[in-house]
């Protein structure tokens, strides 16, 4: 896969997390996570819920620009637009971009933004020099506008 130069200059890494409750199959949750972030190591840790129920936490870190580019490729045009419109609320002062994708859809290799509880949480580190939120926001706006334009030109 050819890595667009705007991915390299915009993002530094991606981190994903999913929770696996006692009623869920860990292999399916792991598959959903890797369907989102690509072929990477998934670490598992254990905790328990408020009522003592076991919860597994699956974490994956992605440094590969190929995988980050592939993640954005998996998002549909409507979700790229939703990201663009809600960007202010998705960026923190540490230049991290946050989003949530539907865990059930991801199991079927469909990466879509979600607002519910059954999600895979994504944090993407944005490159900004100096490291300021306004600069990071500008970089992501430029990237998303480029994605929108590229997809329009592919039709």
| Bridge pairing between strands 119-126 and 43-48 | unpaired
What's the CATH number where 94 sits? 3.30.1440.10
SS3 12: strand
Q: Which residues is 123 bridged to in the sheet?
A: 15, 98
Domain with 61 in it: 5-154
Q: Is there a contact between 139 and 87 (Cβ–Cβ < 8 Å)?
A: no
Contact call for residues 105 and 115 (beta carbons, < 8 A): no
Across the range 15-44, mean pLDDT stands at 95
Interval 120-137: pLDDT, tens: 999 999 999 999 999 999
Q: Residues 57-66: pLDDT tens digits?
A: 999 999 988 8
Q: Which of 11 and 6 is assigned the larger pLDDT?
A: 11
Res 31 pLDDT > 50:
yes
Q: Give the span between the Cα atoms of 17 and 103, in whole angstroms.
A: 10
The pLDDT of residue 56 is above 80: yes
> How many angstroms separate the CA atoms of 120 and 42, rounded?
13
* Nearest C-alpha neighbor of 11 from the set 104, 94, 113, 127: 127
User: Do 62 and 15 meet the contact criterion of CB atoms below 8 Å apart?
Assistant: yes
Q: Domain count for the chain, please give it.
A: 1
pLDDT over 70 at 4, yes or no: no
Which whole number is the average pLDDT over 79-96? 96
Quickly count: other Cβ atoms within 10 Å of residue 90's Cβ. 17
- Percent residues over pLDDT 90 in the chain: 76
For the segment 3-13, the average pLDDT, to the nearest whole number, is 77
pLDDT of 153 reads 74
- Residue 1 has a pLDDT of 42
- Please state, in angstroms and rounded to a whole number, the distance separating the CA atoms of residues 69 and 42: 19
pTM: 0.91
Task: Check residue 3 and report its DSSP letter.
Answer: P
Percentage above 70 pLDDT, the chain: 95
In the prediction, which pLDDT does 5 show? 59
């Amino acid at each position: 896969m050819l890595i667009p130069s705007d991915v390299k200059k915009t993002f530094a890494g991606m981190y994903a997390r999913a929770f696996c409750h006692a009623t869920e199959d860990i292999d399916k949750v792991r598959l959903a996570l890797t369907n989102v972030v690509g072929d990477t190591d998934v670490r598992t840790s254990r905790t328990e819920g408020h009522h003592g129920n076991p919860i597994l936490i699956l974490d994956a870190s992605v440094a590969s620009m190929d995988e980050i580019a592939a993640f954005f490729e998996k998002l549909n045009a409507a979700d790229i637009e939703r990201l663009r419109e809600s960007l202010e609320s998705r960026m923190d002062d540490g230049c991290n971009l946050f989003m949530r994708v539907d865990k059930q859809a991801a199991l079927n290799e469909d990466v879509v933004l979600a607002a519910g509880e059954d999600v895979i949480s994504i944090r993407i580190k944005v490159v900004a020099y100096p490291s300021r939120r306004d600069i990071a926001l500008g970089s992501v706006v430029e990237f998303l506008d480029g994605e929108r334009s590229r997809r329009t030109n592919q039709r």
